[in-house]
Amino acid sequence: MQINDELVVSIEKLSNLGFGIAKSEGFVIFVENACPQDVVKIKITKLNKNYANAKISGFITPSPHRVEPFCPMQKVCGACQLQFIDYDYQLELKREIVQDAMNKIGHLDIEIPKPVPSPQIKAFRHKIQYPVAQTKVSKRLLAGYYKPQTHDIVNIKYCPIQPEICDKIIEFVRATAPTCGVSGYDEKHHAGDLRHIVIRNSASTGENLVVLVVNSNQNNENFSKLAKCIFDKFDEVSGVCLNFNPKKTNVIMSNDTLCICGTPTINEKILDKTFMIGANTFFQVNPKSAENIFRYVKEYIADNFESPVVLDAYAGVSSFGICVSDVCKTVVSVEENKSSTDLARKIAALNSISNVEINNMDAGKFFAAEKRKFDTVILDPPRKGCTVQSLDEAVRLCKDTIIYVSCNPATLARDLKYLTEKGCRVESIQPFDMFCHTFHIENVAVIKV
């Protein structure tokens, strides 16, 4: 097999990164934009010792699950890898991804159910982060998602997976920034002003918080002028902030944010609780799907415990702790980010919640110092999962059940394998579709210690 070779293959399944998997004489080939049950002509684009990469050059027999993407930019934009597959089959493919991870990485003999679907598959994304650049000749601003495997910006005027108001705000910023003397960012030379446009949109109120991420460590007259123009233009915008990020980094936002106009937070409703979301607040991008997860966890606790004491680790703004608080005696919340714990205290007060104890501390250090025992421990770590030390301490502190919420099947499977080797038993794993039209899938695992 050589690069540029053309073959006819059948797509057998989907990889955990969303590529179609085919085989030629036993050799594995990862095919872009392929769907299981496709029979396709492919061209080899990259060759490695153990596998190859390829692109589709023609169809022999398209999969019956192929559909026309509802977004005309799907083929060039890297945001919705699976939009050409019908939604019900997307859920089945995600179930298979989780099943494979649990079998092959976790060595678990457990049947994974179909994911709980997202209540919306359009306009579901309520956090938008567009990188910004500027054309060399016309100096026109570009804002959108990156093309797959590149840092070339697809200039997106309409995105059907986000609320329509976000398109209007971004188009206004594109047109208005140059008139305010604000240039687009040049990543190659680390020059220019506006690096990203970030919008937090509330599914429950329609409010929008606009964050302009700038290549500077301080405000200036041009930035303030642009912020005021945005605030004055849109009644739906409750606040405009500047985030100062002068470092040469791929990290989108720094911790240095200044509110220029309006309020620095918006409100979101999850179950019957009101949450405040700021520029740097971690909060699920799909609030309606997140609500399904919070309800699932809350109902499990209510059905299996009477007035339990619960530990909410990696808590962010204590979303889980606050949502389950009214079926608990006490919730102890742990989060290392101080701005998140400060906001969590305000959210608890806003909801008149007095039984959530909020701790600003690294979860691992908190575990090691804690002497209390908890009926349930909720773990909601970042994609990299938990450390071995954190898992050991969670088992030590837990009297009955660990509820592990994960956005990465591979690290979840790894951590569940470790826990089962320590004598724990995985009772159930339920996937939830938080990130429609992508290969990402959220899971809630219930583990008995």
Catalytic residue set: 407
* β partners of residue 242: 212, 258
- The DSSP bridge pattern shows strands 194-201 and 127-134 to be antiparallel
Measured at the CA of 289, the angle between CA 336 and CA 73, to 5 degrees, comes to 100
Q: Phi/psi of residue 226, each to 5°?
A: -65, -45
Buried b (16+ CB within 10 A) or exposed e, 260-285: bbbebbbbbebeebebbbbbbbbbbb
How far is 14 from 116, CA to CA, in rounded Å? 19
Taking the alpha carbons of 336, 297, 285, 188 in that order, is the dihedral positive or negative? positive
Q: Crossing angle, helix 221-233 and helix 164-176, to 10 degrees?
A: 140
Q: Which residues contact 360 (CB under 8 A, 6 or more apart)?
A: 335, 336, 337, 338, 341, 342
Give the Cβ contact number of residue 357 at 10 Å: 15
Between strands 20-24 and 27-31, the pairing is: antiparallel
Cβ atoms of 43 and 35 within 8 Å: the answer is no
Neighbour order of strands in the sheet with 51-61: 6-10, 39-47, 51-61, 27-31, 20-24, 13-14
Residue whose C-alpha is closest to residue 393's, from 419, 350, 372, 364: 364
Write the CB contacts of 215 (distance below 8 Å, at least 6 apart in sequence): 185, 190, 191, 192, 193, 194, 195, 245, 246
Identify the CA nearest to 120 among candidates 70, 66, 68: 70
Q: Residue 36 is which amino acid?
A: P
